[in-house]
Amino acid sequence: MSNSIESHLVEKRVFKPTREFAKAARIGSLADYRRLYEASIKQPEKFWAAQAGELRWQQKWTKVLEWKPPFAKWFLGGKLNAAENCLDRHLVGPRRNKAAIIWEGEPGEKRTLTYHQLHREVCKFANVLKRNGVKKGDRVLIYMPLIPEAAIAMLACARIGAVHSVVFGGFSSESIKDRLNDSGAQVVVTADGGYRRGQTVTLKQNVDHALEGNTAVRRVIVFRRANLDIHIEEGRDVWWHREMDYVNATCPPAGFDSEHPLFILYTSGSTGKPKGILHTTGGYLTSAHTTTKFIFDLREDDVYWCTADVGWITGHSYLVYGPLANGATCVMYEGAPNWPEPDRFWEIIANYGVTILYTAPTAIRAFIKWGDEHPAKHDLTSLRLLGTVGEPINPEAWMWFRDKIGGGRCPIVDTWWQTETGAIMIAPLPGATPTKPGTATLPFFGIDAAIVDDQGREVGPNEGGKLVVRKPWPSMLRTIFGDKARYKKTYWSEVKGCYFTGDGARRDKDGYFWIVGRIDDVLNVAGHRLGTAEVESALVSHPSVAEAAVVGRPDEIKGQGVVAFVTLREGEIPTNDLKEKLRKHVGHAIGPIAKPDEIRFADALPKTRSGKIMRRLLKELAGGGSVTGDTTTLEDLGVLAKLVKRDE
Ligand code: WTA
């Protein structure tokens, strides 16, 4: 019997870039993409060197790549400063007074920082870090709300060669503690609090808890954001605004080795200890800059909004480093999409004339659930390009995004990548690639992505297998901080000679990549291996369904039975009759093999804090057991408690 993952869902809709879009785009036809892609894969070093050459280097590299599998070094001998590339080089010419960050707080405050102003703040805060003893190579933990100071702190670290490790502001004291221990950070940058869904989040208090008994951290720098009454530990804690009074705005950017560490970002392993993904300077910045330029096809007058928090890799690469290295105007919004009303995003787009919106499938599904009347209230005609990242997007959610947000006019770039890859790896080029709902389409220049079977052989069209990358790329993670053995085992031991992504995928006859789900989540029903994404997408294509997660549970006859957890659109009534209809619907869309054995309605699904559905927990629940696995990355424990209760 074949071990490959089967695929049954057929998607026939294809959307070609419009002529106007293609005409104005950097890459304006599929033929151009293919030609450049072929060349870039034949000579990746040549392609990446040309791209790196668009950055400002204080000293040019002598060697493009040193590849001692699985360890890569890019642009050896080169020296550069990431903050200089994001700021200083825009200070000559008209970009000097261009908005770099347009920020809006959840309660409604508005601030704009031009490149000149952002540069000044970064230089000053870099001097604050120096004043507080931070040196090149030191780790600095950043735990902030989504305010300009979060980006300022990151860029200030980069400016002096300190290594930032941003911890998402929604994480708990426990998470901060683990990450402090693992990274060995001695300085923390935080705020008294932040705003989320009308409530204040007590950031400084969480830091205080995390620091109980910790003697390694010698300095906590606190930005005043929410006017909370907080504890200040004499000798350890200082106020951001007071420190800024002691310093001037002169901080020349030193050049650092291309392979100097830029940041560590922790990503939850599916089990156990989080992994400190290490990225370095020259390669990372090259990929972030290049992908932003081509995939968002940035223009000088774009108003670009990436809705991710700086606590995630998307916030690092596409809210801070990628767009600022390109001299873009970036919108940054602190709060929840449904505060005070479910139309907050659409109001922001209309207010600032946002032209590019980059968001996540989880948000899109929430918007669908909340109802079409919210986007319909606002003028969204400024938008010209849409993007998604984070999960496979269900084709019906993609269609909704295209019609209701993009007005049927904007191309959608569905971008596949990971914390580990540092930058987008598979995505359409908006002026060149015909798109189909649900696929990230084709690999980016220089990226040798493939789908292989358990023996590492490339599989044929529409056969599912493991998604791997066969050649190193500049923004590839360099290691797991402090754990080379785990780095080798996790990413380089599964398929010989290849980087293993952990995702299952197939390529269709046009070579497009369809992510079918995480390999660990693949279902095995009567000898058929099915990815989770197709069954979920079939459910979401039913007009009553907002969101779905499917998992396997042990079944004596079939090996595994399919259990689907389903949330309904606002106003839909959960009945047994509907359950039967949904089972039939999946049977029609995919085939009888994928028909769920059981459907369970839920008010919400358990998700990570970055919005990914946690199937692992649902699987334990569906198998009849209680949930024993790690729940520390779960966004809302209440969701799980509710699901368990229904089960009893
Ligand atoms: C999933 C986020 C399908 C995938 C940048 C990957 C996607 C994991 C897509 C990485 C997409 C991300 N289509 N699946 N467009 N984008 N994923 O580290 O499983 O938070 O391996 O990085 O998200 O998640 P991470």
Decide if domain 522-647 falls under CATH 2.60.40.1180.
no
Q: Is the pLDDT of residue 647 over 70?
A: no
pLDDT at 633: 67
| Residue 502 Cα: closest atom of ligand 1 | 21
**In this predicted model, what pLDDT tens digit does every residue of 470-525 receive, in sequence order?**
999 999 999 999 999 999 999 999 999 999 999 999 999 999 999 999 999 999 98
Q: Is the pLDDT of residue 203 over 80?
A: yes
Listed in sequence order, the residues at least 6 apart from 350 whose beta carbon sits closer than 8 Å to its beta carbon are 378, 379, 380, 382
Question: Global pTM?
Answer: 0.95
Distance 501 CA to ligand 1 centre (A): 10
What residue spans define the domains of the chain?
Answer: 92-97+114-257, 522-647
From 317, 503, 536, give the residue whose CB has the most ligand 1 atoms within 8 Å, as the site to mutate: 503
- Letter string b/e over residues 239-256, b meaning 16 or more CB atoms within 10 A of that residue's CB: ebeebbeebeeebebebb
pLDDT at 500: 97
Please indicate whether residue 175, judged by its CB atom, sits closer than 6 Å to ligand 1: no
Please indicate whether residue 435, judged by its CB atom, sits closer than 6 Å to ligand 1: no
Q: Is the pLDDT of residue 628 over 50?
A: yes
Q: Is the pLDDT of residue 1 over 50?
A: no
From 417, 421, 503, give the residue whose CB has the most ligand 1 atoms within 8 Å, as the site to mutate: 417
Residue nearest to atom 15 of ligand 1 (CA): 416
Model confidence at 648, pLDDT cuts 50, 70, 90, reads very low
Distance 597 CA to ligand 1 centre (A): 28
Tokens of 353: 């004339």
Residue nearest to atom 3 of ligand 1 (CA): 392
**In this predicted model, what pLDDT tens digit does every residue of 542-574 receive, in sequence order?**
999 999 999 999 998 888 999 999 999 999 999
From 391, 466, 506, 608, give the residue whose CB has the most ligand 1 atoms within 8 Å, as the site to mutate: 391
pLDDT at 613: 92
Cα separation, 220 vs 204, in Å, equals 9
Residue nearest to atom 24 of ligand 1 (CA): 418
Distance 540 CA to ligand 1 centre (A): 19
Q: Is the pLDDT of residue 270 over 70?
A: no
CA angle 393, 397, 400 (to 5 degrees): 140
| Residue 440 Cα: closest atom of ligand 1 | 15
Beta bridge partners of 304: 330, 356
Work out the average pLDDT over 222-249: 98
CATH among 3.40.50.980, 3.40.50.300, 1.10.357.10, 3.90.330.10 for 92-97+114-257: 3.40.50.980
Main-chain phi, psi angles of 201, to 5 degrees: -105, 130
Residue nearest to atom 4 of ligand 1 (CA): 391
Distance 214 CA to ligand 1 centre (A): 34
Distance 360 CA to ligand 1 centre (A): 10
Work out the average pLDDT over 97-124: 98
Model confidence at 645, pLDDT cuts 50, 70, 90, reads low
| Residue 414 Cα: closest atom of ligand 1 | 15
pLDDT at 269: 61
Q: Is the pLDDT of residue 108 over 50?
A: yes
Work out the average pLDDT over 417-437: 98
Work out the average pLDDT over 376-388: 98
Please indicate whether residue 515, judged by its CB atom, sits closer than 6 Å to ligand 1: yes
Please compute Rg for the chain using Cα positions: 24
Work out the average pLDDT over 342-362: 97
Tell me if 602 sits within 8 A of 644, measured CB to CB: no
Q: Is the pLDDT of residue 599 over 80?
A: yes
Model confidence at 442, pLDDT cuts 50, 70, 90, reads very high
| Residue 393 Cα: closest atom of ligand 1 | 13
Q: Round the average pLDDT of the chain to a whole number and report it.
A: 95
pLDDT greater at residue 271 or residue 439: 439
Three-class SS state of 394: coil
pLDDT at 610: 85
Please indicate whether residue 440, judged by its CB atom, sits closer than 6 Å to ligand 1: yes
Please indicate whether residue 421, judged by its CB atom, sits closer than 6 Å to ligand 1: no
Cα separation, 17 vs 568, in Å, equals 33
Work out the average pLDDT over 266-282: 85
DSSP 170-212: TS-HHHHHHHHHHHT--EEEEES-EEETTEEE-HHHHHHHHHT
Work out the average pLDDT over 147-158: 98
Tokens of 289: 């800059």
Q: Is the pLDDT of residue 150 over 90?
A: yes
| Residue 533 Cα: closest atom of ligand 1 | 3
Distance 418 CA to ligand 1 centre (A): 5
Cα separation, 528 vs 546, in Å, equals 27
**In this predicted model, what pLDDT tens digit does every residue of 15-39 receive, in sequence order?**
999 999 999 999 999 999 999 999 9
- Letter string b/e over residues 538-557, b meaning 16 or more CB atoms within 10 A of that residue's CB: bbbbbebbbbbbbbbbeeee
